[in-house]
Chains A and B, each alone.
Chain A
């Protein structure tokens, strides 16, 4: 019997994600959180009489929403280790590099859908809240919204890389949340070198404020982190016992 091709492997991985309740919960939770946060930011601006466009409200929610993306990115690479499913998967698909590529594509699809859906819903919630108070939603600024989707996607990939390395959801979340939420702002307050951290670099995609990094180089730096972590993890996954 020959190993399945890449197409069927991707289809299998997508099927797993589609039928995993925790994955759907994470996806739906991120989108719902986006809607709630989007209207919360808009409502706070209305109450405080601050001018805010729906796009600005959306960008303000991104640091919160990345937590959901970390879960969405981590699940595809951890759920099979909760039991012995990884062994069934490897029996069905012994070509490990091909399996990894399939998993990565499936993760990209899931994380991309979540990121795009969340940003769209968040913007809509912000715009509706502003309209409800009789305030126009302002310029769309599609570029920064697309940047926000890109940022969220990169954070999902970062979690996926760490997840492939440590195999379990809880340690993945502790590591990535601590780095992105706690360590990165603390370091940024102290040292300009913090701009090279994955989340700081990727932030240039939707908030280009850095003196050195541009949206392009920033996302490359973040992608470099993902490739470095994921590359080591992938090497180990391919070479070692399951």
Chain B
């Protein structure tokens, strides 16, 4: 019961913070808007008989190309969920930090971190459950009769679930890292950059193949097709490696949060 109340408190924080709403908007509206744009380009190219101009004629691939924006949304949610607790108020209102109030209301720190983690998972899975079907539907609608669907339904479901898992794990890692840094700036920069084409992890793969075991690269096969870098782990072992990173980071964050002064 207590965990349920704590989770609903954390959910309402995330849903009412401007940053939380921004994260949700980036993931949902951003992905859908990008899909609309991509699908319109695809339709024009296919209608004019120039399929070589676009990456794929499949509406699923067209929608899936917007997946990295969802990752940004998950990062923002994970960072905001704990980062907002440490943001000082305006000096006119005492300059306090919300973490004091939160820990007064819920003194079990591990319970607090668990509640935040559950809230982030619920939000990210919720976003994926809305965004992915809507994006794919929109892409189908726009590309319309020119579409050549090369992805079977079973494969599409597996890849959607894989993408959702990647988003969720990324959100949880953002939560754990921000718990350690107690500030939103650095985790935001590092995590958003690492999900872009100019990722530090990707650069490290040029220096050592051990970099393929970093969480974001280990999990990238969950997307399949987005990232065409050779080498590294397959989807299933990669997902396990990424999940292990997430659990380890959350454990460290929990231990630190429990031992340290707020």
Contact = CB atoms under 8 A, between A and B. Distances in A.
Interface of A: 37, 40-41, 43-44, 47-48, 63-64, 67, 71, 82-84, 169-171, 173-174, 177-178, 181-183, 185-187, 189-191
B233 interface: no
Interface stretch (B33-41, B102-110, B111-119): B33-41
B188 A170 contact: yes
Contacts of A186: 34, 65-66, 68-69
A187 to B, nearest CB: 7
Contacts of A169: 185
B197 interface: yes
A181 B197 CA distance: 7
Given A64-B198, A186-B34, A186-B68, A40 B192 contact: no
A190 B37 contact: yes
Contacts of A63: 197-198
Given A64-B198, A173-B185, A178-B72, A189 B65 contact: yes
B55 interface: yes
B4 interface: no
B90 A190 contact: no
B41 A171 contact: no
Contacts of A41: 203
B231 interface: no
Contacts of A189: 55, 65
Contacts, number: 95
Contacts of B197: 63, 181, 185
Nearest to B186: A29
B69 A178 contact: yes
A44 B188 CA distance: 27
B253 interface: no
B225 to A, nearest CB: 12
Contacts of A177: 188-189, 192-193
A83 B94 CA distance: 11
A45 to B, nearest CB: 9
B195 interface: yes
B1 interface: no
